Chain A
Amino acid sequence: MSEARSPLWEVFIRSRNGLSHKHVGSLHAADVTLALEAARDIYTRRGEAISIWVVPSNAITASDPADRDLLFEPANSKIYRHPTFYDVPDEVGHM
């Protein structure tokens, strides 16, 4: 029963006009045409999408969870990047 393995794809769907594509899951398919059709059947049975992307899973490079601090901690300490860091008197109104 040693069958050839079929490639894995990641599926992204745009649920409404104006929104970005969002990852919804993955599936197996032999090629890009079948992957799109399978994505339609598996992830959009109730009108969840107006557009689908399928991407070969092995084309995605992910950050390593172990590097989380290294990558993201520097941004955490820079609260001056947020508007609420700055004092503006109430009399000035909304800014």
Chain B
Amino acid sequence: MYAQALDAVGQTAPAGPEDGERGQRFQRRVDAEQRIEPNDWMPAGYRKTLTRQISQHAHSEIVGMLPEGNWITRAPTLRRKAALLAKIQDECGHGLYLYAAAETLGCAREELVEQLLTGKAKYSSIFNYPTLTWADIGAIGWLVDGAAIMNQIPLCRCSYGPYARAMIRICKEESFHQRQGYEIMLTLCQGTPQQKEMAQDALNRWWWPCLMMFGPSDKQSLHSADTMKWKIKRFSNDDLRQKFVDATVPQGHYLGLSFPDPDLQFDAHSGHWRFGAIDWSEFKRVLAGDGPCNRERLAARRRVHEEGAWVRAAALAHAKKRAKNQAKNEAENPAENQAENQAENPAERASEAQTTGE
């Protein structure tokens, strides 16, 4: 779902002077739009920045399941419930693709998860807002996923191969998310006055936090130079935010809804929708841990992690026991195993391989 511009909030490690000739060769490859792969040499700052960005992106996908999960049992129809379940499964899958991409940079999955659970790593601030009504599920799909897509499409061309490939898969799957959200909003807006009011209320509450998803203004962002140079990031936070507003405002008007921004107006000269000032103190507060649901979200993640510990331990113990038994069997009956293999008819083996799929 999300990629918030968290890079501007953390610290981008600067390029080290020791990189020298290798560093220049690396930059030439990046400039030539070549993809950097896990085994390639890369500056320590590049590795560190990417590890942080990809893992925080993964955490966002995982935590992002929580606000929507709140409505699975209360979805109004079976169709909506099936779609919501599928969407939340996708978010989980996206988190897992991204953790795998982060791991190619040399960190362990367990370390990344621990950073989330101890609060050391950040995740998108948007998921610290509550989902109070069913309309919030519509607003999340339409606005939060819409903002995420704006942010993620350029990441499909990120210089780091595993991240770019994960983003391609994610973007492909994500467009259904936004459409199902908009459909929920549309249905509510065509319903009773109370239903339309619910949709308006959801838009009122989600609009500003969605604009904050793109991260602080470029004027305040100290670290985007390196990520731009390394082609991790291709557009500035402000450019992406403007693109999102331009795409979204007409969609909202089609629904017959209004935006909670008295300064919002179309600038015919530039062709852009101009919007009012964003309350960055709210953004900082939520990111620092003091949003409406920060504690609840982390507590939920910690609880399921702890409750699942015995399952993970049992699976590993079982795998270990089976491997041990197998090794023991082979050691005790080497002749038998060999005879068994030889006795097998080659034609039979071939057909067996086919029926098992390979």
B316, A25: Cβ atoms closer than 8 Å: no
Partner of A25, one of B37, B108, B166, B322: B166
A45, B89: Cβ atoms closer than 8 Å: yes
Q: A1-B114, A34-B315 are in contact. Are A65 and B96 (CB under 8 A)?
A: no
A73 close to chain B: CB less than 8 A: no
Q: How far is the CB of B93 from chain A (nearest CB, A)?
A: 5
Q: Does more than half of chain B's interface fall in helix, strand or loop, or is it mixed?
A: helix
A31, B315: Cβ atoms closer than 8 Å: yes
Partner of A1, one of B117, B169, B313: B117
Contact partners of B238 in chain A: CB under 8 A: none
A71 close to chain B: CB less than 8 A: no
A5, B110: Cβ atoms closer than 8 Å: yes
- C-alpha gap A10/B138 in the complex (Å): 36
B93, A42: Cβ atoms closer than 8 Å: yes
A-B contact pairs, 26 of them (CB 8 A): A1-B117, A4-B312, A5-B109, A8-B103, A25-B100, A26-B100, A27-B96, A27-B100, A28-B109, A29-B315, A30-B312, A30-B316, A30-B318, A31-B322, A34-B315, A42-B93, A42-B96, A45-B86, A45-B93, A45-B173, A50-B357, A51-B357, A52-B357, A65-B37, A65-B39, A65-B40
Residues of B within 8 A of A (CB): 37, 39-41, 86, 89-90, 93, 96-97, 100, 103, 108-110, 114, 117-118, 165-166, 169, 173, 309, 312-313, 315-316, 318-319, 322, 357-358
